[in-house]
Structure 1
């Protein structure tokens, strides 16, 4: 009887999450939204492991005689329908392959991404535990100076621990490699550089040197300290990354969610002394920026958000008493676009109900109106807010797309430099 209750609970839980993964609505209670978003993404990115778990539970329940009676049979039917829905979700995830292939075909040499028939697809892309074997990482390297660490300690002792980064690289790099700086998300108040983003490991395996950085979190540390910290991490990269095989002359930045806002703000405010206290003369320029489900508009004049993002940011992240529209404009990537901005690549899951999908499309449209630089927008079919956190077809296809685009940007820049030198 006790296992029957466990089985019924799992049936209802996964049936609800599977349905919600299609529907995508968030609960109105803010504290439940983060758990719900994670649940959406878990189901949509790992449908096959969930199906495997359900089959095991069905077999075990059958052996224990759980399915005797009408009510258990109803639950069994619900379970079968849920598994059909999970298969549909899996096929839907495969559509990301087509989206990425179409997006990169102009500069990738018609590269064909792994298909169902490929060993790579089954060994890597649907393997929730896949980790490249020829990548090493160096963890918890401090990027703060002695004075910066002391200043952080005065606010709260643990804050200095956030001023650190990890470096990922190939075990035996053959030559100097370009660098990708990745900034984690988490609404500026949570998250960690050690989150298992497949993008980080893929780029390192592909030959890039990847730096994943932490930054001090709100509300203990008020914004724009997060932006300043990441610029400090970039300062460290410019000075030290050559020791890890990285090329300080080509650094791209990427981020998701709030990390995307920081990455974009960093790209738009490079060498701005306002955000470089006591290192004003340090070069904080980057060559390109990649955004994933990023927050690009804090002012939200188009009312894409279901919440008052501006008021929340001002009060809970920046520590301001009231909503300050000029401050929001100053830190919204949408309002920082310049004619000579660096190239941008923008991803957004079309089922993201946490950060509005439409906001990214609007950012791309405005970028094209203002800047002469390249920008590419790749909607990810079926992607929820944290799809890219899981080792799944969507995240691996996206990682390939990032690699191809950044290599394309780097190739074009090198070609332009060669022409200028002639």
Structure 2
């Protein structure tokens, strides 16, 4: 290796070490009042925190190769090695933190559902539950396909073209009484996103275990103004109720989930069955939901408790999503917030949020859960994950796969309770 090549390799190694320490620090430190820098911080923290062990492995492997080649014998490379060493300690911490997800969520489920909540399931359904996670899964974070699941793609549920299509993740094995249904609503700030992009770890996991999962598109802003988004979600629920039996699904049990904007829409749908203003032209349709699992959702669009005054969404919402100000249409802004619809008849709900969420602050979830627990007669479970960022469960990771297991527990419990009540 020539002197120039040696310096180039050392410089690249130092740069990668610097990027690594920045990413690791971003994942560990909770920083939120970042204004224009918030998206950059989010991406660094998100991709580092969820892929901590993978980052550690490639960085150690790179260091070993360079050490073997003698490229670590100058000052710049050794400074890079020092930065990497600090980063590795942080990555180990992040991996241990993610591994604690199982304990945290199991404790939340026991607190919300009862210590022996699994005993209410039949022996057959208890066998589909899992406690551990497989390295073969989280070491291939973007590999989603699972044996025994087939997908029916691009089925129209309303007249909105591409934005009113859905996909069905269909189990291979039959289930007595038909498959219970999970409806997935993607996020993306009400302005971007596709049905194929989110919640695949959860949907494939459930479909392997006898659930039928439906992922939908819906109209997006600024082309469409709220309440078009929730109207489409309601149309999808009505379509599932009327048509899902053709695919083996049970139209009488529909659970709903979604993250971010999808968390907002899924919780709003769960709390507003039959609300006429969200069901124009199909007011009589049954849009009730039997269980809900919102992830890192926005629950109060008007921020009535001033949780995020310095990082307000109001201008973006006014200009792009609501397309009116709060002063111009206070009733619409109020009705858009799930927090405004909390009531005693709400379905069982499992709210999941990360403490380090940069885009939707955890205090909003805490406020919503407190209101739900005070009002609802059904179970309200809250899983708050230390260190978790926004969108943490989009791909496989240790944290994602433990969360998927916990959500499966909750949905199986909710379905068993529903079956018992019906019988």
Using structure 1 for the length normalisation, give the TM-score. Answer: 0.89
Contact 1:26 1:37 in 2 (8 A): no
* Cα-Cα RMSD: 2.1
The equivalent residue for 2:193 is: 191
Aligned length: 400
CA distance in 1, matches of 2:222, 2:11: 42
1:24 aligns to 2:34 (yes or no): no
Moved more, 276-285 or 74-83: 276-285
The equivalent residue for 2:222 is: 219
**SS of residue paired to 2:265:** helix
1:135 aligns to 2:149 (yes or no): yes
Unmatched segments (≥5 aa) in structure 1 = 150-159
Contact 1:38 1:386 in 2 (8 A): no
**Residue of 3, 24, 40 corresponding to 2:9:** 3
**SS of residue paired to 1:285:** coil
- 1:63-103 CA-partner distances (Å, limit 9, x unpaired): 55432222221111111221121111101101101012222
The equivalent residue for 2:107 is: 102
CA distance in 2, matches of 1:371, 1:104: 16
C-alpha deviation, 1:56, in angstroms: 2.8
**SS of residue paired to 1:355:** coil
The equivalent residue for 1:310 is: 314
Contact 2:253 2:289 in 1 (8 A): yes
CA distance 1:234–1:334, change in 2 (3 Å) = same
Moved more, 57-66 or 183-192: 57-66
Unmatched segments (≥5 aa) in structure 2 = 1-6, 121-125
CA distance in 2, matches of 1:79, 1:243: 55
1:169 aligns to 2:170 (yes or no): yes
Contact 1:311 1:322 in 2 (8 A): no
The equivalent residue for 2:123 is: none
Moved more, 124-133 or 354-363: 124-133
Contact 1:45 1:393 in 2 (8 A): yes
1:122 aligns to 2:126 (yes or no): no
The equivalent residue for 1:154 is: none
C-alpha deviation, 1:184, in angstroms: 1.0
After superposition, where does 1:285-324 map in structure 2 within 5 Å?
285-305=288-308, 306-321=310-325, 323=327, 324=329
CA distance in 1, matches of 2:263, 2:195: 14
**SS of residue paired to 1:389:** coil
CA distance in 2, matches of 1:84, 1:94: 16
**SS of residue paired to 1:138:** strand
1:203 aligns to 2:206 (yes or no): yes
CA distance 1:368–1:174, change in 2 (3 Å) = closer
CA distance in 2, matches of 1:88, 1:321: 44
1:82 aligns to 2:87 (yes or no): yes
The equivalent residue for 1:46 is: 51
Contact 2:11 2:77 in 1 (8 A): no
**Residue of 17, 20, 24 corresponding to 1:14:** 20
Contact 1:101 1:113 in 2 (8 A): no
Moved more, 59-68 or 226-235: 59-68
**SS of residue paired to 1:388:** coil
**SS of residue paired to 2:365:** helix
